[in-house]
Amino acid sequence: MTIYIDTNCKCHVSNPDGIYTEIEAPEKFEGKAPAYIEGFRVKPEGYTFTRNDGKVFGPDGYSVSPWRDLALLEEFQAQYEAQLTAAAAAYAEGVNSI
């Protein structure tokens, strides 16, 4: 799975202007909603990011960490899964009615 990061290591699921850097997504993002993924930072080795409070995370090491409130991201994910379940049920109902 491929994702993209901007210059502050924030994740994006698409790269319409071609300005982000393509990276391999961590296992953690498998099956996750775009809104969940885009609430995270992935910092590859050699990259840095600056948090909102000015704290700089230097180039050493790799990290995966949320920058949006994790509880909110988990709510996005729960709603995403509920929508998938509802869509699957509607599809199954449609198929069964044929």
**Distance between CA atoms of residues 26 and 62, nearest Å:** 11
How many Å is the Cα radius of gyration of the chain?
A: 17
Nearest approach, Cβ of 58 to other proteins (angstroms)? 8
Q: Which of 24, 61, 83, 90 binds other proteins (CB under 8 A)?
A: 61
Angle ∠(42,10,40) on CA atoms, nearest 5: 60
DSSP code for 10: B
Nearer to other proteins, 12 or 68 (CB): 68
Q: Which of 28, 85, 87, 90 binds other proteins (CB under 8 A)?
A: 28
46 is a contact residue toward other proteins (CB under 8 A): no
Size, binding site for other proteins by CB under 8 A: 26
**Distance between CA atoms of residues 2 and 73, nearest Å:** 20
Which residues of the chain form contacts with other proteins (CB under 8 A)? 26-28, 30, 39, 41, 45, 51-55, 57-58, 60-71
